[in-house]
Structures are given as structure tokens and as C-alpha cells.
Copies of this chain bind each other. A is one copy, B any other.
Amino acid sequence: MRWEHLDQEPCSVARTLSVIGDRWTLIILRDCFLGVRRFEKFESRLGITRHVLTDRLKKLVQNDVLVKTPYQEKPRREEYRLTEKGLALHPVIMSLVHWGNTYMTDDEHGAPLIHIHKSCGHRMSPVTTCSHCGEPVTARDIRVEVGAGWEGVVKTPRTE
């Protein structure tokens, strides 16, 4: 299975990963949530090659996660901003950051990214709760079931 085919699979997880399931893409998105918007800024901050950055930004725009808008004409300069769809990825990034802060933190330095909840003003970490009863949930509280959209597609990826 190659990655071009992944976005055509009737499995939303596979399709999600065809958009953001890439090392650079996730780091780019982390920087987007930090307010970075310009090509040069991404490049200098991340140490990504320009070629790959061009490619990843293009894909994110195609997938409606970022929008490319000019912030000046003469000369034309573009910037990349998160769309609503892109902003909706925030829980993914937050939980990634939280896991990193918990399990991958270098003791010498402490957590590199901190989240402040504007309305209560405190430093926070994300707590995942149940949309139905509101209780916090962990992996053991959840049963994962295969729904209507699965349809044996991932089970037999070779047949395509």
C-alpha cells in the first residue's frame, strides 16, 4: 500500500493520517498553533528542507487545514493560517504535547510547551472526557468498536 492510495480508503483514520500522519506535518502544525505563519519562519525554526516544507504546506492547503493568503502585494507575500478544520486539530496536538511532557521530558529542562486556559487563567493540561456523561476517560474505560465505515477495507488492503 502506498500513501497516495491511503486517502481513498473508506477508513477515516487512514484518511486522517494521509493528511497529518507525517513527521514534518505534525511539527509544522505545532508551530501553526504557536502562531507561526510564514515560510521562512517555519524553515528557520524547524530545520526542514525548503522542498519538503513547500510540499507539506501545499498538501495542508489542499486538504483545507491551512489557508494561504497574501499579507501584502508588491511584492506578493503569502502566509499560512489555520482554518476551522485545522483549529479542530488542537486536541490532537495538545494530547501529543501532554504525552511528551509526561513521558519524554528532559529533566534538566522541564516542559517546553505550556497551555494556559484563557477563561480560568491557569496552566492546564488536557483531560479527555466522555461526551455523554462528562467523566474523564482513560484507555481502559473505552471499548473500541468497528463501525459501518470499516467494511473490511483495512482488513484486505492488498486486494485494491
Chain A positions within 8 Å of B, measured between CB atoms, are 1, 3, 6, 10-17, 19, 21-23, 26-27, 30, 33-34, 44-48, 82, 85, 87-92, 94-106, 108-120, 122-151, 154-155, 157-158
Contacts and interface: CB of A to CB of B under 8 A. Distances in A.
Contacts of A157: 45-47
B108 A10 contact: yes
A13 B142 contact: no
- This chain: how many copies in the complex? 2
B113 A145 contact: yes
Contact of A133 (B34, B122, B133): B122
A98 B137 CA distance: 15
Instruction: Name which of A13, A17, A99 has the most chain B CB atoms within 10 A of its CB.
Output: A13
